[in-house]
Amino acid sequence: MKSLLIATLFATVCATVVRSEINIDFATSAGRIKPLHAVNNAPLRIGRSLKEFRIAGIPYMRTHDTVGMWGWGHFIDVPNIFPNFDADENDPASYDFKFSDEFLKPVVESGCKVFYRLGVTIENYAGVKAYNVYPPKDFAKWARICEHIILHYNKGWNKGFKWNIEYWEIWNECEGSSMWKGTREQFFEFYRVAANHLKAKFPEIKIGGYGGCGVYSADDPENKVGSFGKGSKFPVKMLEWFRAFCRYVSAPETRAPLDFYSWHYYWNNEVMHYSRIQTQAKFVRETLDAAGLTRCESIMNEWNTRVNGYHGMKSQFGASFVADMFCLMQDSPIDMAMYYDAYPKRVYCGIFEPIEEATTPCYESFVAWNELYRLGGAVAAKSREERLNVAAATDGKAKAFLLVNAFERKREVKPVVKGVAADETFTIYQLGGGNARLSVVGTWKPGDALEIPSLGVIVAATDFAGPRQILIAGDSLLEERTGGTSYGSWGQQLGPWLKDDVVIDNLARSGKSSKSFVTEGLWAKLLKRIRKGDWVIVQFGHNDVAKQENRRTTLDEFRQNFERFADDVTARGGRPVFVSPTCCWDFDGTGKFAPRAYIRERADAMKAAAQAKGAVFIDMTELTARELREKGKADTRIDYMISRIGNADAMHTTRWGAKRFAELFVREVFESGSPFEEAFKTPAGMKPKVKVASVN
């Protein structure tokens, strides 16, 4: 009995919320919020937008290991742009910029700046055969080639651009044989020649390097935690390179410009503690200063974790790790940081899924940090609790703070906040605890407690910028579908039509009716996520005629539910959009379209509610009925799941049909002149009919 009591008490204590002390002072400046949410690479979006970068405010994108091995033969790397080293470096015809240009255009158009690595992609199989990682046979000519690359991107040379790229990095991880097949002395000389030439030609740019593998042995000289494998001497070699390089570029006889020193950090195993990044950042700063390089920026332009593997990077664990690192780096001598990697096909990419390039919970931590970064001014913020970190910012008016719980248990904190009015209200956005995206979960005022879920991230803001949102309430016809199934909903196919500053938060769930969506708590969850000016799409109908009492509604109840939806959304500052249910693939024996009567009845009830409450109404019932009548049975079968062998489903659409219906919807939004068109790109052959002022 005693053992049982002790076990019960222990379990209770473990489940008990942990209270922690967090101190934030918005009246005390702590410098600036740093550009720590920069990245390596980007999705390959030739001719398409990179809205994810714009929404997350990604400040810089580094061009290393772009697209694939050997730069895929055509991207970024010096040998890809200048393929014949013996050619005339002054002849525009010697250069091939085409694919590099097309890769970089969407990046620049997103508002992100380019951090250009001059060099080559890592050759992980250099032990089999090395191609581009040998020292250039003529250092001076290599520098002149790079001069023309800079001319192309900054001065418009050779049909180029005037992007004014500021950061130009020479090489990467030269300590390893997979990046440099020469000696240390050769690399130092190579850097000296190239850096001096480029700085002389372009004094306005920043020249640096060398993308060092890291300084792990600075706080672990015997490599006890196993960086690069226990017993490996490579970390010591890396440290020796760094110290020698600092001495070399600062010595009078070998002086070379070093506007920034770039280095890397990977959290390799659970023995390593996150906070090591602060110790190593301090070592880098002190080493640079000791060499007289006090104005040299410390840029950690590769970092990530291998713990929990490929899927862990994309999960809530990855989101917590990234946000935690942001806070730690903010409170360190690091000037800028770049996550490795943002190319969806790479095993180190935690922010995109590899096939459809959907964003992950990890990506949301970049959005969260940008809320602080856009405010600009860092303020004093400290946590005394292990693995519970904080950062805060203000622009003099708006305020925001970020809290990260890196433990796998929920915790309760009661921040002590100074420099705010006693009644000042912050909106709470939570990542984790069932929210795969930053979602509104409530408000907070000074003196209130905050609960942070396991591995959770919270942004508390008086003026959250974020992207404009379309929230969706509905059933399986709108639900986000995942996996390899050919079944698709038209709701998830709206993405390509959205403007770059608009995102979708899809809460539609299979089997839900206008009744069960409310009784099961989904409607209340949606309402919490609404920000002023958000659009809310609501579509129900098919499940409202189900036999189950928990789903079934009468026509009057259905109309009243939609009137309630309109009132609730409007009260939260949102804008309701009622969308009637799509028609099923219903044809009689003669091949004539014969729609189910209840669909039109529900559509009319929804229309009446929209008219009564001033909501936008889009009649997808009529649009899909017209499509089925005009195209006929044979030509529309492919749009529905019934076209799949052994499938009798005439209600749900295939991915192809979902894309068609999404286009029908967007075209009708524009055709009707609805103010909802502000959220979408204009379809081909159409022009906007209304000009809508932005909602303040």
SS3 sequence of 169-184: EECCCCCCCCCCCCCH
Same domain, 526 and 424: no
Answer for the pair 474, 491: CB distance below 8 angstroms, yes or no.
yes
* Ramachandran quadrant class, 632 (left: phi over 0; alpha: psi -120 to 50; beta: rest): left
**Contact yes or no for 246/212 (Cβ under 8 A):** no
Q: According to the model, what pLDDT value does residue 172 have?
A: 98
Same domain, 346 and 485: no
* DSSP secondary structure letter of residue 24: E
Closest CA to 570 of 507, 614, 628: 614
Does one domain contain both 211 and 99? yes
**pLDDT in the model for residue 16:** 42
Note if the pTM is more than 0.85: no
Residues 6+ apart with CB under 8 A from 432: 316, 319, 320, 361, 405, 452, 453, 454, 455, 456, 457
Output phi, psi for 432, to 5 deg: 105, 175
pLDDT at 646: 73
564 occurs within a structural domain: yes
Residue 529 and residue 603 in one domain = yes
Cross-strand bridge partners of residue 429: 440, 459
> Which residues lie below 8 Å from residue 269, measured CB to CB, with a gap of 6+?
225, 226, 306, 307
| Residues ≥6 apart with Cβ < 8 Å to 613 | 562, 563, 566, 567, 570, 576
Instruction: Choose among 696, 678, 363: nearest CA to 531.
Output: 696
Handedness of CA 673, 675, 676, 681 (dihedral sign): positive
C-alpha–C-alpha distance, residues 472 and 492, integer Å = 10
Domain identity same for 423 and 564: no
Q: At what angle do helices 316-330 and 361-373 cross, to 10 degrees?
A: 30
Same structural domain, 43 and 147: yes
Residue 439 within a domain: yes
Whether residue 29 lies inside any domain: the answer is no
Are 171 and 122 within 8 A, CB to CB?
no
Helix (H), strand (E) at residue 27:
strand 22-32
Q: What is the CATH number of the domain that holds 101?
A: 3.20.20.80
In a domain, 693, yes or no: no
Q: Is residue 475 part of a domain?
A: yes
Beta bridge partners of 20: 413
Q: Do 66 and 121 fall into the same domain? A: yes
Residue 117 and residue 192: Cα distance in Å, rounded?
16
431 in the same domain as 401: yes
Final residue belonging to a domain, choices 416, 445, 461? 461
What is the sign, positive or negative, of the torsion defined by CA atoms of 250, 254, 260, 265?
Answer: negative
Number of neighbours of residue 86 by Cβ within 10 angstroms: 9
97 burial level (CB within 10 Å; 0-12, 13-18, 19+): buried
The total number of structural domains in the chain stands at 3
Order the strands of the 411-413 sheet from edge to edge: 18-20, 411-413, 450-452
- Looking at the structure, do residues 247 and 393 belong to the same domain, yes or no? no
Q: Which of 442, 461, 480 is the last residue of a domain?
A: 461
- Say if CB 570 and CB 505 are below 8 A apart: no
Is the domain of 435 the same as that of 521? no
Q: How far apart are CA 688 and CA 671, in angstroms?
A: 8
Q: Smallest Cα–Cα separation from 540: which of 527, 526, 552, 524? A: 552
Q: What angle do CA 479, 484, 485 make, to 5 degrees?
A: 55
Residues 6+ apart with CB under 8 A from 434: 453
Please give the Cα distance from 510 to 481 (Å, whole number).
10
Q: Alpha-carbon distance 558 to 575, whole Å? A: 19
108 Rama sector, left if φ>0, alpha if ψ -120 to 50, beta otherwise: alpha
DSSP 455: T
Counting Cβ atoms within 10 Å, is residue 178 exposed (0-12), middle (13-18) or buried (19+)?
Answer: middle
What angle, rounded to 10 degrees, do the helices at 655-671 and 620-636 form?
140
Q: What gap in Å lies between CA 536 and CA 578, rounded to an integer?
A: 8
Burial (CB count <10 Å: 0-12, 13-18, 19+), residue 507: buried
Residue 96 has what DSSP assignment? -
User: Where among 433, 461, 489 does a domain terminate?
Assistant: 461
**Which of 184, 149, 185, 155 is closest to 168 using CA atoms?**
149
One domain, residues 445 and 533: no
For the domain that residue 618 is a member of, what is the CATH number? 3.40.50.1110
The tokens describing 596, both together, are: 């189910």
Mean pLDDT by 10 residues, the chain (696 residues): 36 44 96 98 93 95 96 96 98 98 96 98 96 97 98 98 98 96 98 98 98 90 72 87 98 98 85 77 98 98 90 95 96 98 96 92 97 97 92 97 94 95 93 90 92 96 86 94 72 90 92 98 92 94 96 97 98 96 92 93 97 97 94 91 82 91 96 94 80 39
Domain enclosing residue 432, as ranges: 15-20+381-461
| Residue matched to tokens 């291998």 | 306
- Residues whose CB is less than 8 angstroms from the CB of residue 141 and which lie 6 or more positions away in sequence, other chains included: 85, 89
In three-state form (DSSP H/G/I as H, E/B as E, the rest C), the secondary structure along 258-312 is: CCEEEEEEEECCCCCCCCHHHHHHHHHHHHHHHCCCCCCEEEEEEEEECCCHHHH
**Is 365 part of any domain?**
no
Please report, for the domain that includes residue 435, its CATH number.
2.60.40.1180
Tell whether 591 and 526 lie within a shared domain.
Answer: yes
Whether a cis peptide bond, with omega within 30° of 0, leads into 373 is: no
Residue 371 in any domain: the answer is no
Q: State which amino acid sits at residue 284.
A: V
Per the domain annotation, does 1 fall within a domain? no
Sign of CA dihedral 214, 218, 220, 222: positive
